[in-house]
């Protein structure tokens, strides 16, 4: 038996050690390190960076080693015809020399060749520079998308974080009112025992307790789901232990100030800017294919002993290539770049309309929820006073059980409504700061209000 208790406490301790206590300040770091969507965006940026290095390599000289081993049906020979040389000697005597040389071997049957070849691009119609600019723009786009994804995922995690806190607060409210209802039920039992009220009156408290129990079960299930959602987004381990409480924050500055921040920090602007630069670079690269290519080259024979009499040991020179049919491919590529330009212009015009409107909408929704929350706080104070008075009157026999239960129901509904408004108010604030392009501003705003 002792072993079972020891094992139980060891498991409990191990589970507690594995659990992560999460605060708002932990979330940006965990999202960057663990969130799968953010990690995919980071991988896309790494791929774009590699492509950028590939484009830079096109400017470097190309050094190639070429080696061949060949065999022909026979050696290459040159037959030298016989020659006859006739001269007159100084003494007047005639002289004649007949020469019949053997065949001249120009190349053996087995030939091994090895050469180094160097090619340096000099002018490619501006195509290489344009391709480099396109890769640079693509890297900037992926970097901005990575920043955008971190902000969006932080917004999602913050909302799930406070939704889980909301359900936990609901469970706390329900637990407190369960104590109140249990006390009322005990009071009802005493009044029934003294004959002050009929036995049937207790069914009301029993029904209220049953409904409360059902609400607790639903809230606990919802809290578990939201806890798992947060754990999934940041790959957290153990039970949910959230340090940062759900609280009423002040409204941020005027929407115009937030719109100014969005105009400089929102990643969409940077993405559109770099997409426009990419479209221009792709257009220039397509145009460059219509122009001639000029390059310098050099070749050096490593196996000189097997060269023929007609082959040089080394060669240097300039080359020019001009693909006269390049327009067949260049024209549709330039049309594609033009379409991308139009797409960017449409996206920029749409963002100029949508982003300020989005901030205005979230700011108005947050302001409305805050006003409703303040009104609910006042109504809740009045309802709690009414509940206290009803309980006192019921305990002395002056009030009715129905008055107490009605007062309890009002306090319960207002308490849960207050939590709902508090959660939705913070949700709108999170969305408001996310609309500026930097959701982490919400965390700064949260700490300023402490």
Whole-number pLDDT of residue 54: 85
Which two structure tokens, joined as six digits, stand for 20? 């992560």
Q: Let me know: does 314 contact 249? Beta carbons within 8 Å.
A: no
Residue-wise pLDDT tens digits, 359-395:
999 999 999 999 999 999 999 999 999 988 888 887 7
Average pLDDT over the chain, rounded to whole? 85
Average pLDDT over residues 408-435: 92
Highest mean pLDDT: which of 64-73, 168-177, 346-355?
346-355
**In 3-state terms, what secondary structure has residue 254?**
coil
In terms of Cα–Cα distance, which of 116, 57, 54 is closest to 297? 116
Nearest residue to 321 via CA among 130, 134, 119: 119
pTM of the model as a whole: 0.77
Bridge partners (DSSP) of residue 69 are: 112
Q: What confidence tens digit (pLDDT) does each residue in 179-190 have? A: 877 877 777 777
DSSP 146-184: HHHHHHHHHHHHHHHHHHHHHHHHHHHHHHHHHHHHHHH
Structure confidence at residue 148 as a pLDDT band (50, 70, 90)? very high
Evaluate if residue 5 carries a pLDDT over 60: no
Selection from 112, 107, 106, 105 nearest residue 70 by Cα: 112
Among the residue ranges 2-11, 50-59, 95-104, the one predicted with the least confidence is 2-11
Kindly report the CA angle at 307 between 301 and 313, in degrees rounded to 5?
40
Q: What is the structure's pLDDT at 106?
A: 67
* Cα 136 from Cα 144, distance rounded (Å): 12
Is the pLDDT at 400 greater than 80? The verdict is no
**Residue 420 pLDDT grade (very low, low, confident, very high; cuts 50, 70, 90):** very high
pLDDT at 143: 95
pLDDT by residue (tens digit) across 262-304? 988 899 999 999 999 999 999 999 998 889 999 999 999 998 8
pLDDT, residue 374, reads 94
Confidence of residue 91 (pLDDT cuts 50, 70, 90): confident
pLDDT confidence bin for 196, thresholds 50/70/90? low
pLDDT band at 156 (very low <50, low <70, confident <90, very high): very high
Q: How many C-beta atoms surround the C-beta of residue 215 within 10 A?
A: 18
What is the total residue count of the chain? 450
Mean of pLDDT values over 330-350: 92
Give 168's contacts (C-beta < 8 A, 6+ positions apart): 223, 242
CA dihedral 243, 246, 247, 248 (to 10 degrees): 150
**Contact residues for 8 (Cβ-Cβ < 8 A; gap 6+):** none
Position 443 pLDDT exceeds 90: yes
- Per the model's pLDDT, the better-predicted residue between 342 and 191 turns out to be 342
pLDDT > 70? residue 104: no
Other C-beta atoms lying within 10 Å of the C-beta of residue 12 = 10
Highest mean pLDDT among 27-41, 165-179, 226-240: 27-41
Structure confidence by residue, pLDDT tens digits, 106-126? 677 788 889 999 999 998 888
- Specify the fold of 22-60+125-291+329-448: Outer membrane efflux proteins (OEP) (1.20.1600)
Residue 213's contacts (CB-CB under 8 Å, 6 or more residues apart) are 178
Could you tell me which residues are beta bridge partners of residue 111?
A: 70
Poorest-confidence range of 63-77, 154-168, 303-317, 395-409?
395-409
pLDDT at residue 37, as a whole number: 93
b/e per residue 298-321 (b: at least 16 CB within 10 A): ebebeeeeeeeeeeeeeeeeeeee
**Domain boundary assignment for the chain:** 22-60+125-291+329-448
Q: Please, are residues 431 and 262 in contact by the beta-carbon 8 Å criterion?
A: no
């Amino acid at each position: 038996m002792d072993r079972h208790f020891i094992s139980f406490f060891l498991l409990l301790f191990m589970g507690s050690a594995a659990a992560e206590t999460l605060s708002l300040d932990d979330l940006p770091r965990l999202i960057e390190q663990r969130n799968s969507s953010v990690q995919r965006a980071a991988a896309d940026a790494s791929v774009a960076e590699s492509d950028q290095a590939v484009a830079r390599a096109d400017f470097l000289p190309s050094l190639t080693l070429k080696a061949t081993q060949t065999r022909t049906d026979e050696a290459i020979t040159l037959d030298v015809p016989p020659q006859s040389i006739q001269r007159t000697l100084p003494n007047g005597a005639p002289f004649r020399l007949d020469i019949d040389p053997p065949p001249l071997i120009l190349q053996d049957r087995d030939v091994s060749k090895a050469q180094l070849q160097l090619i340096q691009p000099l002018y490619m119609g501006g195509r290489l520079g344009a391709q480099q600019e396109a890769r640079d723009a693509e890297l900037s786009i992926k970097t901005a998308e990575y920043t955008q994804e971190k902000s969006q995922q932080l917004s999602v995690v913050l909302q799930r974080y406070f939704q889980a806190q909301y359900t936990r607060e609901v469970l706390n409210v329900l637990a407190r009112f369960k104590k109140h209802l249990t006390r009322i039920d005990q009071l009802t039992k005493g009044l029934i025992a003294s004959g002050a009220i009929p036995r049937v009156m207790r069914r009301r408290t029993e029904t209220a307790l049953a409904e409360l129990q059902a609400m607790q079960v639903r809230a606990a299930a919802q809290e578990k789901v939201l806890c798992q959602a947060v754990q999934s987004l940041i790959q957290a381990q153990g039970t949910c232990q959230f340090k940062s409480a759900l609280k009423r924050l002040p409204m941020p500055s005027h929407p115009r100030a937030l719109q100014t921040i969005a105009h400089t920090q929102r990643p969409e602007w940077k993405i559109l800017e770099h997409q426009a630069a990419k479209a221009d670079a792709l257009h220039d690269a397509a145009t460059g294919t219509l122009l001639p290519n000029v390059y310098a080259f050099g070749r050096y024979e490593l196996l000189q002993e097997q060269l023929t009499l007609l082959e040089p040991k080394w060669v240097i020179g300039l080359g020019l290539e001009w693909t006269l049919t390049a327009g067949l491919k260049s024209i549709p590529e330039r049309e594609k770049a033009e379409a991308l330009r139009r797409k960017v212009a449409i996206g920029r015009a749409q963002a100029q309309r949508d982003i300020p409107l989005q901030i205005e909408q979230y700011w108005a929704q947050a302001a409305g929820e805050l006003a409703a929350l303040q009104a609910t706080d006042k109504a809740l104070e009045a309802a709690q006073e009414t509940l206290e008075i009803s309980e006192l009157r019921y305990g002395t026999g002056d009030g009715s059980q129905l008055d107490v239960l009605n007062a309890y129901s009002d306090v319960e509904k207002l308490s849960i409504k207050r939590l709902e408004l508090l959660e939705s108010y913070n949700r709108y604030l999170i969305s408001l700061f996310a609309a500026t392009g930097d959701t982490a501003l919400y965390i700064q705003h949260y700490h300023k209000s402490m």
